[in-house]
Amino acid sequence: MLLITCPYGLSSILNNDIKKLWHKSFDTFDTWTFVDGWLAQATHINLSSRIANKVYLRTHEPSLCTNFDDLFDLTTSIDRSQYISKGHGVSIKVHLRQSIIDSASSSQSIIHKAIMTSLTWSKEATWDIDPDLKAQSLFVVINKNVCTIYINTSGDSLHNRWYKDATGDAPLKENLAAALIQLANRKYSEPLIDPCCGSWTLCIEAAMLAKNVAPGLDRYFAFEQFPCFDKPSFEVLREKAESSIYSKPYPIFWYDIDPEMIEIAKKNAKNAGVEEAITFEAHDILDTEPSYPNNATIVSNPPYWIRLPWDSLDKIHEEFAQKISKKTVIITGYPGAKKYFPYLARSNKNTKNGSEEVKIYLSK
Ligand SMILES: C[S@@+](CC[C@H](N)C(=O)[O-])C[C@H]1O[C@@H](n2cnc3c(N)ncnc32)[C@H](O)[C@@H]1O
């Protein structure tokens, strides 16, 4: 059993993403989606999901835990030798809901003690933690007194692709950008435009989707350190993903008022292997008459942060509203945006970019 997390508000897009990878989700609760599978399915989803944050693997059958003795016994019963190699530390996060055990910090201590005790029983008492190795992390859920322990197979959140060397102000998280591109639901042969592109997160994710570049192709995953990791099978999966990249160019156009973003953004696109798919121009959305092709789709994250004067934010959002005859997906935290996209607000979605509340407006 796998538990896959995603940014708030995006679980339906995650479900589509998972279905495309031929896995079936069977339950979704807020930002959590449950999928039938074991490590082979987890490796596939880690490599290929554009929307997931983390993929957790359940380590045992869920079990009733109403006190710390139960929790200790359950933890020692896990076949730790499958997941934690010698030298790795273990970090523990506990999520409690409607349960008799009501202290996350005490639960963490008990679980940690149980893991160390099971190491002693397995005659590995000299378990020196190697500071060069990343700790493995457990996610423990006690819901209505039923405890499930998961191990994080991803490591760092999957929104961390490998391509970003630098960013501008307020960059979008990569999986949120990928979700916007998927919401736009465009034909890849039709032009895509971001008039306020910043460090190009949207355009790089759009080009990666169009070229079928797997988002996890060149990053590290926690499962690579599991003793049960099947490296040859993963290499086959990675090689298959590499050979499935299309070389066709796609019409993607990106503008920003700030020409300094070009160098940063070009480097990121080069790292992602998609620079030839993208055309960039420095351009002020307020100065120039728009000459976007009729069949263009606009996907953008206009400026909305507090330090810009509100009248200029108003003008920029108004300008977007005038372009709305085209298929458009806008993500913005600017409260005044509602005025310009009233008909979009009905189908809006609330989400977060990091800690910031933002709304997604769709023209369809
Ligand atoms: C929220 S950021 C976009 C971040 C981008 N999505 C990313 O992931 O890096 C907004 C961008 O709008 C640009 N911008 C601000 N005013 C503009 C204008 N009048 N015309 C075009 N771009 C503008 C800023 O330079 C900034 O890069």
Ligand 1 atom closest to 258 (CA): 25
Task: Show the tokens assigned to 271.
Answer: 């790292």
313, with CB counted inside 10 A (0-12, 13-18, 19+), is buried
Amino acid occupying residue 143: N
Please give the number of the atom of ligand 1 that sits closest to the Cα of 172.
Answer: 8
Q: What is the pLDDT of residue 127?
A: 62
Q: Tell me phi and psi for residue 223, to 5 degrees.
A: -65, -20
Q: Ligand 1 centroid to 302 CA: how many Å?
A: 6
CA–CA distance, 245 with 262 (Å, rounded to integer): 25
Distance CA 291, CA 326 (A): 12
List beta partners, residue 148.
141
Q: Which of 161, 196, 330 to mutate to test the pocket of ligand 1 (most atoms within 8 A of CB)?
A: 196
Q: Can you tell me the distance from the alpha carbon of 169 to that of 316, in angstroms, rounded to the nearest whole number? A: 17
Q: Give the CATH fold of the 174-215+247-362 domain.
A: Rossmann fold (3.40.50)
Mutational pocket test of ligand 1: of 175, 255, 256, the residue with most ligand atoms within 8 Å of the beta carbon: 256
Nearest alpha carbon, ligand 1 atom 5: 198
305, 349, 315, 308: which is closest to 331 by C-alpha?
349
- The encoded tokens of residue 240 equal 């298959």
Identify the three-state secondary structure at position 143: strand
Side chain identity, residue 8: Y
- Best residue among 205, 257, 305 to mutate for probing ligand 1, ranked by most atoms within 8 Å of CB: 257
Q: Which amino acid is at 326?
A: K
Which atom of ligand 1 has the smallest separation from the CA of 265? 9
Helix (H, G, I), strand (E, B), or coil: what is residue 332? strand
Cα 211 to middle of ligand 1, angstroms: 25
Which residue has its alpha carbon closest to ligand 1 atom 3?
198
170 Cα to the center of ligand 1, angstroms: 9
Q: What CA–CA distance (Å, rounded) separates 46 from 24?
A: 15
Q: What is the pLDDT of residue 41?
A: 94
Which class is 2-152 in CATH?
A: alpha beta
On whether the CB atoms of residues 331 and 172 are closer than 8 A, the answer is yes
| Cα(361) to centroid(ligand 1), Å | 17
**Residues facing residue 328 across a β-bridge:** 298
Condensed to tens digits (0 to 9), the pLDDT of residues 205-234 reads 999 999 999 999 989 999 999 999 999 999
pLDDT at residue 232, as a whole number = 97
Give DSSP secondary structure letters for 254-322: EEES-TTHHHHHHHHHHHHT-GGGEEEEE--TTTS-----TT-EEEE-----TTS-HHHHHHHHHHHHH
Give the integer Cα–Cα distance in Å for 54 and 63.
23
Its pTM stands at 0.91
Query: Which H or E element spans position 176?
Result: helix 174-184
Q: Structural domain boundaries of the chain?
A: 2-152, 174-215+247-362
Cα(13) to ligand 1 centroid in Å equals 25
Residues in the ligand 1 pocket, defined by CB under 6 Å: 167-172, 195-196, 198-199, 201-202, 256-258, 261, 284-286, 301, 303, 316
Residues of the chain under the 70 pLDDT cut:
25, 119-127, 288-290, 305-310, 324-325, 342-348, 364
Return the C-alpha torsion angle 245, 251, 257, 263, nearest 10: 40
Report the separation in Å between the CA atom of 199 and the middle of ligand 1, taken as the mean of its atom positions: 9
* CA–CA gap between residue 268 and residue 271 (Å, rounded): 5
- 303 CA → ligand 1 middle, Å: 5
Distance from the alpha carbon of residue 255 to the mean position of ligand 1, in angstroms: 9
Strand partners, 152: 56
Report DSSP letters for 88-126, one per residue.
--EEEEEEEES-S---HHHHHHHHHHHHHHHHHHTT---
Which pLDDT score, from 0 to 100, does residue 119 have? 67
Q: Which two tokens stand for residue 298?
A: 């606009």
Atom of ligand 1 lying closest to residue 287 CA: 19
Give strand pairing partners of 29. Answer: 32
How many A from CA of 291 to the centre of ligand 1?
19
Cα–ligand 1 centroid distance for 256 (angstroms): 6
Q: What is the sign of the dihedral through the CA atoms of 149, 150, 155 and 159? A: negative
| Count of CB atoms situated within 10 Å of the CB of 322 | 9
Which protein residue has the closest C-alpha to ligand 1 atom 17? 257
Residues 6+ apart with CB under 8 A from 116: 127
User: Are the C-beta atoms of 278 and 200 separated by less than 8 Å?
Assistant: yes
Q: Which atom of ligand 1 is nearest to the CA of 300?
A: 6
